[in-house]
Structures are given as C-alpha cells and as structure tokens.
Amino acid sequence: MDRSVRQLVIALAVFALLAGGCARREGTSALFILEELETASAVKDPSTRVERLSIFIDNHPEHPYRFIAYNRMLETLGAEMKDEAGMAARLAEALAKETEFLARGELLLGNFIYLMEKDKSAAAAFADSLFLTERSPRLFLIMGYYLMDPKADQDLPVKCFLRSADLSTGRYEKAQAIAMAGAALEERGKRDEAKRYLAMAAGNPEADMIMGKILWEEGKRTEAIDAYVACAARMPGARATMKLDSLYALVNPGANDLDETIMARRIGDEGPMPEGVFVDLDGKSYDFSKLKGTKIVLYALSPT
C-alpha cells in the first residue's frame, strides 16, 4: 500500500475509534449523571436529600437533569418538610444563578404548583406576577392548565395560554397553547372567540376535538366529522371517546371507509428526525444518524 494511503487509512481508523469512544463516553456519562441524581433523590433523610440535590445541581450547572433536581429539591422542602422559608430561600438562590429561561421556568413552576395545592389565590397572584419577567412557554402553559379550574380567575388561564403561544418558537408547542386558549374560552361560554383560536390551532388534536364538538352542536355535522377525523388521526385513543364511529355512520350512512379516512390524515411529513446519540438503561449508545435506512418507532414515555 502506498505510504500516503496507509497514513490516511490509519488516520481514519484513529478518528473512527476516537469518534466511537466519544459517543460511548457521551452516552455513558448521561447514565452516570442520572444514576447520581437517583442516588441523591433516594436519600431517606429529607434535609440530607436537599443538600445532596443541591450538590448535584452545583456539579452539573448546565445539565438538563438539573431541572429534575430542582423540582425534587423544592418538593422535598415544601411538601415533605413544610419548610416554606427554606423553600423560598433555595428558590431565590437558584433563580439568582439561573439565567436560562427554561430552567427558571421549571423552578417557578415548582413553586407555583406548591402554592396551587395550598392557596389557589396566592398561586394565581404568583402566576400573574411572572408575565413581565419570564419567557418560558412551558411555564405559562402548565400554569394555564392548573388555572383552568372554573372556580379560579376567569381570564388568567387564557392569558397564560396566549402568553405561552407568544413565547413558543415551535409550531407544535404554539398550537398546543393556542388550542388550550380556545378550550378555556369555550369552557367559559365565549364560543365565538374560542372558535377563532381553535381554527388557528387546527391540526392540534385537542383543538380539533373541541371544534368538532362545537360544530356538531351547531348542526354543522359534516364539518364536525372532519374535525373529529383530524383529531383521531393524531390522537387514536380519542376515536372511542368521541364516539366517532357512530357519529360517522350517522352522517355517512352505509359508508365503511372511516379507517382509511383516518389513516390518510394520519400520515404526513413533518420533517427530519433530530439527530443525536442517546444511551439506554444499560449504557448502550444509539446514534440516530446511523439509523437512517431503517424505519424507526420512537415512543416517548414516562414510567408514572
């Protein structure tokens, strides 16, 4: 083999080894970091657990798992230790350090949920106080969900959802927030306004479901079925909840094409799957870019 070719082959082999090693280390470290978080979270004594979680956050100041550590720390202080002063101090300390808006959102959300369980008016006032300073779409979306209680402030949930929509940069996140604004308005009897937002969020299954219900009640049955089909395409479990089969049969007597109609709406092209290397529960790495050429089913889940 020519010397330069041999050198190139060796260089490529070294690069491949290093790249593989890096991928393995990246994956393995994710598992190690989560193991560290689990160990800190499993400490029986709550004060020691708070300290261990605090150390975890200091050790991994930029890692996304710190979001979980914050939640567990605040939960321990609030729900378990009933130490509101300690919780407020830790929250203030963390907020002073955190500049990333999503991390700040998680922290504030932890405090909001704690307040919601204790004093709903205080939680609503707290939510209202965040509009000028915070930029996390998830913070406002989740606060809106909690505030949907009809007994709570009438306008605040809608305000939260619309703020979330304004802050969202992703189309799915934005559509979810707009859909929920529509849902909150519909729940409050503001049907025309609700329809305006639900139409803007068309394609979001919750928006389609509520729009279907409104249209059905208005006697616009063909349009209602269309909205219900769109919902079932994205949210298969809703087909039974909406009693779509019987409604479809009422509007289209004798038709037996509902499965096909839903499937046609189900398949589209929403763009490339993001790339990245992920590690599984045993530490084995999976590089999404290397899975091209194979169909993938990715199931996002939680064990709770």
Partner 1 sequence: MPCVAEFPQLERLAQREKELGFRFLGLEVKGLLAKMRDVVKEKKTTFPILLDDRRLAREVLQIPGTPTTFVVDRQGRIRARLIGAAEDIDGIIAEVLRRI
Residue ranges that bind partner 1, judged by CB under 8 A = 30-31, 33-35, 37-38, 42, 63-65, 67-68, 102, 138, 170-173, 176, 205-206, 234-240, 263, 266-274, 276, 278-282, 284, 286, 288, 291-304
Identify which of residues 5 and 301 has a Cβ nearer to partner 1 in the complex: 301
Contact 214, 191 (CB under 8 A): yes
Contact 38, 66 (CB under 8 A): no
Least distance CB 119 / partner 1 (angstroms): 27
Least distance CB 68 / partner 1 (angstroms): 4
Identify which of residues 36 and 128 has a Cβ nearer to partner 1 in the complex: 36
Identify which of residues 40 and 116 has a Cβ nearer to partner 1 in the complex: 40
Least distance CB 241 / partner 1 (angstroms): 10
Identify which of residues 15 and 278 has a Cβ nearer to partner 1 in the complex: 278
Identify which of residues 189 and 237 has a Cβ nearer to partner 1 in the complex: 237
Least distance CB 284 / partner 1 (angstroms): 7
Distance CA(91)–CA(296), nearest Å, equals 41
Least distance CB 93 / partner 1 (angstroms): 22
Contact 151, 176 (CB under 8 A): no
Identify which of residues 153 and 186 has a Cβ nearer to partner 1 in the complex: 186
**Largest interatomic CA distance in the chain:** 81
Identify which of residues 6 and 284 has a Cβ nearer to partner 1 in the complex: 284
Distance CA(132)–CA(125), nearest Å, equals 13
Backbone angles phi, psi at 199, to 5 degrees: -65, -40
DSSP state of 76: I
DSSP state of 147: T
Least distance CB 140 / partner 1 (angstroms): 14
Tokens standing for 129? 């106080």
To which H or E segment does residue 74 belong? helix 65-75
Distance CA(221)–CA(212), nearest Å, equals 8
Identify which of residues 61 and 64 has a Cβ nearer to partner 1 in the complex: 64
Least distance CB 164 / partner 1 (angstroms): 12
Tokens standing for 138? 């998830």
Least distance CB 209 / partner 1 (angstroms): 11
DSSP state letters, 78-141? IIIT--HHHHHHHHHHHHHH---HHHHHHHHHHHHHHHHHH-HHHHHHHHHTTTTT---HHHHH
